[in-house]
Amino acid sequence: MTDPLPHHSHGPSEIESRVRRLEKLLVEKGLVDPAAMDELVDTYENRVGPKNGARVVARAWTDPDYRRRLLENPTEAIMELGYRGRQGEHMKVVENTGTVHNMVVCTLCSCYPWPVLGLPPAWYKASSYRARAVSEPRAVLAEFGVELGDDVEIRVWDSTAEVRYLVLPRRPEGTGAMSEDELSELVSRDSMIGVALVGVPDSRS
């Protein structure tokens, strides 16, 4: 019996509930400005977050020279688009192909490239994911809905304080006419961790 991943659970976790209660108490006592907190959340969810990484991926899909720079010198290439900051200093980009699928984990804690992916999801920090992503990656991917053929090699990359990984997903077929902005809307946080594939909306399939 494998330990189920927490992304299947419903409702807030105990830690999330405690954080919300603490947040409410701080606001009621006037120790935290709700507007400042909203600004901080917006920064990490929207400006310093998955939308940044999606823009990096879309640029790599549409600009071969940028893709080459991204794979050769990821930190500098990501900074070209204005994304920099703590936990984004030592980046490595790994590219999915028809025969190789990459996924990222941090087995020791939860090292994560904040400037391009924002805050790490709860399941990424959970011990079940951190252990099983290494020992049974194909089963973990299946739980996320990613079924890969036996001919596809799965490579698991362990993020550390010295290096953080970003997966460059495969560009979906049938997107040749889409703009960079449109392509970036297809890219999810999970696809840049490697636990999801990039699909095309039904209207464009």
Q: Which residues are catalytic?
A: 106, 109-111
> Tokens representing 24?
């409410």
> Tokens representing 112?
């994560």
Burial of 134 (0-12, 13-18, 19+ CB in 10 A): middle
Residue 166 and residue 91 in contact, taking contact as beta carbons nearer than 8 Å:
yes
> Tokens representing 200?
């095309």
- Rounded to whole angstroms, the Cα distance separating 74 from 76 reads 6
Contacts for 152 with CB less than 8 Å, ≥ 6 apart: 98, 99, 100, 101
What's the gap between Cα 113 and its chain centre? 8
Residue 137 and residue 185 in contact, taking contact as beta carbons nearer than 8 Å:
no
